Amino acid sequence: MSMIVKAARTVRPLPSDDASSVRLAARAAQDCLAEAGLSPDSVGVLINVGVYREANTFEPAIAALVQKEVGINLDYLASPTPVAGFSFDLMNGACGVLNAVQVAQALLDTGSSERVLITAADAHPGGRAAEDDAYPYADLGGALLLERTTESGHGFGPVLLRSGDGPVGTRGYLDTAAMGTRGRGQITVERDTDRLETLLDLAVETVNEYAGAERLDLDRTLLLCTKAAPDFADRLARRLDMDPRSVLAPAAEREEGEPHTAAPVLGYLRALQSGPPIGRDHLLLVTVGAGPSAACVSYRPQDW
């Protein structure tokens, strides 16, 4: 038994609307369900991994708000399936999506659910990332609809999670001593000057460990990584001795910051759109971020 991506989508804020992590996540989820031709009640579990939220919302769980917006099992009497409509937040920064993939594998392997929907959306707490030059992330939402398959040779491998030593590298927080009356619309993001070398070291160690454990040939791999810096993919390719054309870090469509929690979804979609490079027959998704932490998982699309 394996797990595949049934549908994947990313969305940006509508031109007439301030960014909302709930609406971005919900729109991406609805687009996934429409692409798959499924109703909201076909989703057993929803996992939300977004970090930055409109108005710095902390409670209730954003996953519950996304579930309501999408319309997943809002009436327990009308949809009495025991596992339908369960939702929760799982936050681990840039590695959140791959953390959720690992949880989804456990849920699907044990038959606890037929489908798991992962949503990842970040929004500037003030409404528009483009209006804050100091804020590093793009307003972006993404979703992955995952389900079990009996087909062999396709789907996800195991997820590898690693933690590094040293400072966390990136801190996002609300400075309560300085926020004044505008705290709901502000956020402070601090990044250590040496964080990129730390993240590169951790990414290299994680990829090499995963490739060794899973017997992956990196010469036949298209590696998708997070865009921790403009040249992060090139630097990672050199460190791994890989063809730079086979290491990609997806960027947002406009220069409004880097993709954050939705980056793996964006990278996956870009890879499908461009098709497999000659000699590359599977994907390796690698995320690195605050902690420092890293996650890695292989995936072979059904049409590759």
- pLDDT on residue 149: 82
Same domain, 135 and 193: no
Same domain, 97 and 209: no
Q: Which of 152, 187, 216 is the last residue of a domain?
A: 152
Same domain, 126 and 251: no
Q: At 117, phi and psi to the nearest 5?
A: -110, 120
Same domain, 171 and 288: yes
Same domain, 228 and 266: yes
Same domain, 245 and 196: yes
Beta-sheet pairing, 2-11 with 86-89: unpaired
Among positive and negative, which fits the CA dihedral 220, 208, 147, 249? Answer: negative
Same domain, 166 and 138: no
CATH number at residue 12: 3.40.47.10
In degrees, rounded to 5, the angle at the alpha carbon of residue 293 between the alpha carbons of residues 166 and 107 is 150
- pLDDT on residue 77: 62
Whole-angstrom CA distances from 261 to 179, 264, 271 are 25, 7, 17
Phi-psi category of 153—alpha, beta or left, where left has phi over 0 and alpha has psi -120 to 50?
left
Query: Chunked in runs of 10, what are the mean pLDDT values of the chain (304 residues)?
Result: 90 81 94 94 92 78 91 72 73 93 93 90 78 79 92 88 78 69 67 81 94 92 89 93 90 74 93 80 91 92 79
Q: Which of 113, 130, 152 is the last residue of a domain?
A: 152
Q: Which of 103, 127, 152 is the last residue of a domain?
A: 152
Q: CB under 8 Å, gap of 24 or more: what pairs does 31-39 form?
A: 31/7, 31/143, 32/6, 32/7, 32/8, 32/117, 32/143, 32/144, 32/145, 33/7, 33/70, 33/117, 33/145, 35/7, 35/9, 36/6, 36/7, 36/145, 38/6, 38/115, 38/145
pTM, full prediction: 0.89
- pLDDT on residue 212: 93
| Domain encompassing residue 108 | 2-152
Same domain, 214 and 117: no
Same domain, 78 and 120: yes
How many domains does the structure of the chain reveal? Answer: 2
- pLDDT on residue 252: 65
- pLDDT on residue 185: 61
Which of 4, 228, 208 shows the shortest CA–CA distance to 95?
Answer: 228
